[in-house]
Structure 1
């Protein structure tokens, strides 16, 4: 199933912005010798590569089902989101920490504060625009939920990954500004290295948060409670169904949900009635929600369902 157009818009905005910012930062770092600016350049370069990986993940996830992958390839996006988190940690945070420690041990003053300030200002402008695009898309997706709850419940990692990266980038720019200014004002060039270390810590924390959320999605998360209630309400009204014992749902992608229902049919219904009911329920659910890609219905008594469910929970 096709990925959200909004997700691609967010990633494209971040990709273009980060590529321009990375080039500018590296030029400034080579000119001025600033460790914090070099760390920021590496950060932006990593973010550029991450945007490309997310686009690749969206492309791979949109492929249709085949014999080898009968439920489609939706989890490709979750896999590449996890790879992005690893890159932020290993490359972004690792190199920033190394560069910061090396500069703190063997400090050398930056040669041009003006150039650093110009680059930081331009970077904040570009990064702020990308952040606004990501925030707007995230707000539209989260509805009335709080930000933390929305991240925990989100099934589309592409949007919150870019939002987290851009937030970390803006914090990194602020730290780089403070570190460069403090190093010049106090004539302590090692403070530039300290700023680089702090940038690395921010990247490491961002990577851990991204990895945690991506891992949960990759393993398999259930549909949101309101989605499950909508499914249950659609089935409860069927004339052949005595009760819905329970359901199991799992996201294979942001817009791909597999539903398994345990149903107790009315005792006087024939096999033909049950077959018609199953087909009717599948059709109704697919019409109500385009993100339901597969529906499995199992005739089962409530006692059997409780027994099996207890074993699943344990």
Structure 2
């Protein structure tokens, strides 16, 4: 039986708490040290706080019940807010950091009290690591055996995808900023600090593009994850009522799944008996896979057996 965890914003709350604390420390350090890399990191953390609030709002909107206008509910609305977050990460976090770095590359403003910036960056690494660990724990609850890259390509949880992507970008950005500030302190050349800001910005833009690409695919409409799809198909084929599956389509709808099945049934003495059998199959499928909220079942025969008969 394939389990589907309940919608949980725990990873988002971890990230929000971490980024709020980090942003305060970074802005204080950026003001004190006049570090461009630190200022870019502060802007990045502030943008991340706004991103997490957007995701929490998106999760709330996605829980809206079905209505005449949206008969299948608003489950996919979280994908829209996840795309907004990816765009904000690209422009507010990435593009602004590149702009700030280019500005400081020409201005060459001196860096003061670099040790303060290094200390804040070190604390930020610890907090971002804790945030990432929270996201990884949520991922491992349902995908204990998948590599992170495979999960990234196959996941249908856009909110968790964005949080994990942000945390990974943040840790890599902190490493770049730390090296940039350290080199500036050792050499006395503020060029390294400016290059660090540009490096952080470019990194954020690349990760934001990767996240946006995955979320766009979810908005267009993706099938259920490969493991879930295979499990559903195997479950249906094991049913005594079904002779063969002619076609099966799955569609991820937020945290829910839509299943449309065209199957060849065994012989029944009447149409009513077949309808009763189909109802039993549908109920068993939804009991086994709680994430399957809608099932559309069509009994049919393979094309090579249709002959001249007309089927709808």
- Where in structure 2 are the equivalents of 1:1-314 lying within 5 Å? 7-254=8-255, 256-303=256-303
Calculate the TM-score normalised by the size of structure 1.
0.91
Residues 175-195 of structure 1: CA distance to partner in whole angstroms, max 9, x if unpaired?
111111211221211211000
Q: 1:145 to 1:63 in 2, by over 3 A?
A: same
- Looking at structure 1, the residues matched to 114 and 190 of structure 2 have their Cα atoms a distance apart, in angstroms, of 12
- Looking at structure 1, the residues matched to 300 and 132 of structure 2 have their Cα atoms a distance apart, in angstroms, of 50
- Looking at structure 2, the residues matched to 269 and 242 of structure 1 have their Cα atoms a distance apart, in angstroms, of 16
- Looking at structure 1, the residues matched to 183 and 7 of structure 2 have their Cα atoms a distance apart, in angstroms, of 40
Calculate the TM-score normalised by the size of structure 2.
0.91
Q: 1:214 to 1:305 in 2, by over 3 A?
A: farther
What is the deviation of 1:13? Answer: 0.8
What is the deviation of 1:118? Answer: 2.2
- Looking at structure 2, the residues matched to 38 and 305 of structure 1 have their Cα atoms a distance apart, in angstroms, of 70
Q: 1:6 to 1:75 in 2, by over 3 A?
A: closer
Deviation larger for 295-304 or 25-34: 295-304
Alignment coverage as a number of residue pairs: 303
Unaligned ranges ≥5, structure 1:
307-314
What is the deviation of 1:300? Answer: 2.3
Unaligned ranges ≥5, structure 2:
307-312
- Looking at structure 2, the residues matched to 4 and 241 of structure 1 have their Cα atoms a distance apart, in angstroms, of 29
RMSD of the alignment, in Å? Answer: 2.0
What is the deviation of 1:129? Answer: 1.1
